[in-house]
Structure 1
Amino acid sequence: MKHKITGMAPLLMVYDMQTSLAFYCNVLGFNLIESAGPQDDIGWVLLRLNDIELMLNTQYEKTDRPDNQELLRNDHHGDVCLYFACNDIDGLYQSLKSKDIALKEPYITGYGWQALDLTDPDGFKLSFHKPMHTF
């Protein structure tokens, strides 16, 4: 029997849910679809942007969260990168710059695609790609 797998939604563990929600919703344009927990202590969310789904979960319970983000924890994300398809890398770059997001200019990858890289508030790498040729 074959199982029909219809999607995937990465789950990112975040330090501050409100900061992460502001980044993913206000900066990147995701919509909040579902959440768990009271408004002042949301512990989990499902976000959607077009056909892309992403889940965020708080790393700590509200009462256990340290005052500052543990930088060593962010270092462990170094091998995680979320890749997004984007048909207008230059437009995205201008939009993010207008929102005071720190990022480098778009570049052409070694495999010939245009790319734009940035880091979210928890240190996760995000890369937006566009093929420079048609298949």
Structure 2
Amino acid sequence: MPDESMASANVRQAVPFFSVINMETSLRFYVDGLGFIMKRWWIPDSHQDGDKPNGKIRWCWLELGEAAIMLQEYIPERKPKEPLGSGINICFQCEDALALYREFKSRGLQTRNRPFVGNRLWVVPVIDPDGYRMEFSSPTDAPEESELEESLSH
């Protein structure tokens, strides 16, 4: 059996891997809207597992600060019938979640809900085009269940 310290030293990062319906739409959301940077990508160049080479990105690795996510577009014949993102919530711990909220708004990203305080954290909830839920959070002393006043978000 491997030594526990050796195993834990070998694990570096947990990276959410989202399967998406439309890569272009997802990249607009993550790169243009949230500010992620594409660090790696894959463009099929041959018929591999049903892929048709079309010169479009099929998989990518995105980073924002020290956080990362991976996206991969479904092959059309393999798209699921059930909704994506059900029951999934990825939480990004941040220095200042409200600063990110303001940046997202300045990039034209519309959020469904205003930031709120939950569990002594400012929480900025966002939902991607495929229904994956994410929260950008940072510690606060503001009262529980407070909501950001829109006049403060400018």
| RMSD (Å) for aligned C-alpha atoms | 2.2
Which structure has the bigger radius of gyration?
2
Residues 98 and 122, structure 2, Cα contact 8 Å, conserved in 1:
no
* Structure 1 residues not aligned, in runs of 5+: none
CA apart distance, 1:31: 1.1
One-letter amino acid of the counterpart of residue 112, structure 2:
L
One-letter amino acid of the counterpart of residue 132, structure 1:
T
CA apart distance, 1:16: 0.5
Percent of paired sites with the same residue: 26
Q: TM-score of the superposition, structure 2-length normalised?
A: 0.71
CA apart distance, 1:100: 4.0
* Structure 2 residues not aligned, in runs of 5+: 45-53, 142-154
Residues 125 and 136, structure 2, Cα contact 8 Å, conserved in 1:
yes
Q: TM-score of the superposition, structure 1-length normalised?
A: 0.80
Partner of 1:42: 57
How far, CA to CA, are the matches of 1:103 and 1:73 in structure 2? 18
Partner of 1:123: 131
Q: Taking structure 1 as reference, are residues 89 and 52 closer, same or farther at Cα in structure 2, changes over 3 Å only?
A: closer
Does residue 105 of the first structure (1) align with residue 114 of the second (2)? yes
One-letter amino acid of the counterpart of residue 112, structure 1:
R
Q: Tell me how many residue pairs correspond in the alignment.
A: 125
Q: Taking structure 1 as reference, are residues 5 and 126 closer, same or farther at Cα in structure 2, changes over 3 Å only?
A: same
- 1:9-58 CA-partner distances (Å, limit 9, x unpaired): 11100000011111111111111111111574221111112211211011
Residues 34 and 109, structure 2, Cα contact 8 Å, conserved in 1:
no
